[in-house]
Structure 1
Amino acid sequence: MSTGWSLWVMFLVVLNLGITFFLYLWGPRAKIPTQPDGTSGHVWAHGVLREGVRRLPTWWVVFSGAMFGAAFVYLLLYPGFGNHKGTLGWTSHGQLAREQAANEAKLEPLMQRFMLYTPEQLAGDPEARQLGKVLFEDNCAACHQRSGKGNQQLGAPDLTDQDWLYGGSGKDITTSIHDGRNGVMPPWASLGEGTVNNLVQYVLSLSGRPHDAKMAAAAEPIFKGTCAACHGPDGKGNQALGAPNLTDQIWLHGGSVADIHKTIHDGRQGHMPDWDKRLGDQQIHVLAAYVYQLSHPDAGATD
């Protein structure tokens, strides 16, 4: 803290304590004009309620005085009065470091045990689930929600089903968390509005939904000549590319006609950040086990 800021903080402390201490000393001695009946003259409810005037109770005076004493002792022992570091030498950074070290000492044996198992096996460990839940809520819930149900507006997939863009094994999930993923669906507006509309109907037909058969038939050669490069000729997707399966009822960006049209016409961009810079390998291992169990709630330690 610079000298200027230190002096400003000291001024504020002295000003606030000075004003409150003055009121503390003046309050019990203040003379308030009263009526013959001992009230201030203020009435409510047509005179039913009247404001009485009484001396401050002794316990309040003693307690408040003790609080002022505690404040002065605190400013002596701890930082708070400008650049005064406090006679105890306490700092928030020091306390945080001590608590983190103590926490790491408790966690290390547990993490070493966790690393003996695959994410599939670890998914059934109650302690691993508890730690994984904390890691998930701190780092992943912003996009995937606390429930893991995902967010279509963000293109964050539902992690509680059995549909995986890049694979749902423990190894695949670990890779997704560690390295991140970047999905690109190119825009196909250049094909023309009519062709895009036909493709929408063809995509609907792949999942057995109501569609215009004539439009779908017209789009089939386009799909197999263009879209199949990523989604496969049968539309079942490609986990190596992160191309979703179009034959089920699971939609990353929404499955309405308007949503599918926007996806084909404008394209989509998906980004899963890499977490290896924020989380260590052990934490990622536990987090992968937690994500795995979201879609395998009956997973056991011996799976």
Structure 2
Amino acid sequence: MSTGWSFWVMFLVVLNMGITFFLYLWGPRAKIPTLPDGTSGHVWAHGVLREGVRPLPMWWVLFSGAMFVAGFVYLALFPGFGNFKGALGWTSHGELARHVAANRAELAPLMDRFKLYSVEQLASDPDALQMGKVLFEDNCAACHQRSAKGNVALGAPDLTDNDWLYGGSGSDITTSIHDGRSGVMPPWASLGADNVKNLAQYVLSLSGSPHDAARAAAGQPLFATCAACHGADGKGNQALGAPNLTDHIWLHGGSVADIEKTIGEGRQGHMPAWSPRLSDEQIHVLAAYVYHQSHQTSDASRQ
């Protein structure tokens, strides 16, 4: 806090506490004119209700005085009076650091145990899944939803279907979380609007979806421009993050309009790297939780 702001805060503290303390001292001694019946003369409901004047009860006076003492003591011990740090030297940053250190010390034995197992093995550990769920909801759910079902509007993939753009092994998922991923689908509007429609119909035919056979046949030769990434059979390439076009799973929507937009305008996707925010141990646990989301059926069949 700058010196100017510090003086401004000090001024406000002195002003507010000074006014309230003055009213506290003056209130019990104030002389209010009263009528012989002890009321102030203010009436309501055609005289049925009259305003009485009574001295402040002693409990209120003592309690309010104690609050002033507590306020003065607080300002002496803790920061709150401008740049004055308080006699105890307390700071919110220091308090947070102490709690974080205590939490890490408590979790250390558990994290040491987790490091002994691979992501695939850890995916069946209840303690790891409980911790991974919290990490997922805090860091990943904003895009992938709490259910991990993804979000077509954001291009965030469904993590429960075992269909992976960059591979679904434990090491692949760990790399995706640790380093992030960036995918680009270039726009092909230069092919012309009619060719984009034909190519979209051919892409639909690859997954056996309803399509216009004539347009699909016309679009098949054009797919050679796509095969470099998606493969000649349209099954994708995990090394490039090119999705499989044959499995009825669509990152940006599988309607005719969605596919035409994807081809004509292109798509860009970005998975941020979480290594600056999460430790390697946390990423290891989070990867196990993500891995578990797409293997729950197989896990249940083994039980």
Work out whether the TM-score is over 0.5.
yes
CA distance in 1, matches of 2:40, 2:122: 73
**What is the CA distance between 1:248 and its match in structure 2?**
2.1
Match of 1:171 in 2: 171
**What is the CA distance between 1:126 and its match in structure 2?**
2.2
**What is the CA distance between 1:214 and its match in structure 2?**
0.7
Q: Which one-letter code corresponds to 2:186 in the other structure?
A: P
Counterpart mapping for 1:63-102 below 5 A: 63-102=63-102
5+ residue gaps, structure 1: none
- Secondary structure of residue in 2 paired with 1:108: helix
Is 1:278 paired with 2:264? no
Q: TM-score, normalised by structure 2?
A: 0.89
Can you list the C-alpha shifts for 1:170-205, whole angstroms capped at 9, x where unaligned? 111001111211111111111111110011111222
- Secondary structure of residue in 2 paired with 1:74: helix
Counterpart mapping for 1:223-238 below 5 A: 223=223, 225-238=224-237
Q: Which stretch of structure 1 is more off in the superposition, 22-31 or 60-69?
A: 22-31
- Secondary structure of residue in 2 paired with 1:187: coil
Is the alpha carbon distance of 1:50 and 1:147 closer, same or farther for their aligned partners in structure 2, counting shifts above 3 Å? Answer: farther
Q: Aligned pair count? A: 299
Q: Please say if residues 178 and 273 of structure 2, whose CA atoms lie closer than 8 Å, have aligned partners that are also in contact.
A: yes
Match of 1:267 in 2: 266
**What is the CA distance between 1:116 and its match in structure 2?**
0.7
- Secondary structure of residue in 2 paired with 1:269: strand
- Secondary structure of residue in 1 paired with 2:296: coil
Match of 2:247 in 1: 248
**What is the CA distance between 1:38 and its match in structure 2?**
4.1
CA distance in 1, matches of 2:29, 2:293: 67
**What is the CA distance between 1:121 and its match in structure 2?**
1.4
5+ residue gaps, structure 2: none
**What is the CA distance between 1:209 and its match in structure 2?**
2.1
The share of aligned pairs that are identical, in percent, is 74
Q: Which one-letter code corresponds to 1:240 in the other structure?
A: A
Is the alpha carbon distance of 1:48 and 1:134 closer, same or farther for their aligned partners in structure 2, counting shifts above 3 Å? Answer: farther
Is 1:258 paired with 2:257? yes
- Secondary structure of residue in 1 paired with 2:95: helix
Is the alpha carbon distance of 1:72 and 1:261 closer, same or farther for their aligned partners in structure 2, counting shifts above 3 Å? Answer: same
CA distance in 2, matches of 1:96, 1:49: 58
Q: Which one-letter code corresponds to 2:72 in the other structure?
A: F
Match of 1:107 in 2: 107
**What is the CA distance between 1:78 and its match in structure 2?**
1.1
Is the alpha carbon distance of 1:37 and 1:62 closer, same or farther for their aligned partners in structure 2, counting shifts above 3 Å? Answer: closer
Q: Which stretch of structure 1 is more off in the superposition, 131-140 or 65-74?
A: 131-140
CA distance in 2, matches of 1:262, 1:21: 69
Match of 1:124 in 2: 124
**What is the CA distance between 1:152 and its match in structure 2?**
1.6
Q: TM-score, normalised by structure 1?
A: 0.89
CA distance in 1, matches of 2:201, 2:160: 28
Q: Which one-letter code corresponds to 2:196 in the other structure?
A: V
Is the alpha carbon distance of 1:54 and 1:157 closer, same or farther for their aligned partners in structure 2, counting shifts above 3 Å? Answer: farther
